[in-house]
Amino acid sequence: MQKLPELTEADRTAFEEQFKKVVHTCLDNPEFMENYDRLHSTSLSKLKSRAPIDIMVDEATGSTEQQLIEFFTFVKDRVFGPFLDSVVDAQIQAQAKKNGKK
C-alpha cells in the first residue's frame, strides 16, 4: 500500500476551510439539524430562537458548548471523514492509472 505524503500547512488550512464549509452547510440545513436533534436528543436546530433565560442557563451549565463539540465530532466522523476518504481514494486511483496500474 502506498504511503500518503505528509500534509503541508497549506493542505491543513484548506482542509480546515472545507470542514468549516461542511459544518455551516449542515447547520444551515433545517432537515439535517432537526434529524440530528431527534437522534441525539439535542436542540441545536433552535439555537437562534432561544429565550434569553435558556441561553443563560445553557451558558452556566455548559450544555450547549458540549452539544456543539459532539455535533462537530459527528460532522467530522460521519460527514467530512467519508468525503475525505472518497477524495483520497480517487487520488490514489488516478495516480495508479497515471502509473499504468489498475
pLDDT tens, residue by residue, 16-74:
999 999 999 999 999 999 999 999 999 999 988 888 888 888 889 988 999 999 999 99
**3 band by pLDDT with thresholds 50, 70 and 90:** low
End-to-end CA distance of the chain: 14
pLDDT over threshold 80, residue 88: no
pLDDT of residue 78: 94
Look up residue 24 and give its amino acid. H
Query: What is the C-alpha separation between 15 and 6, in angstroms, rounded?
Result: 13
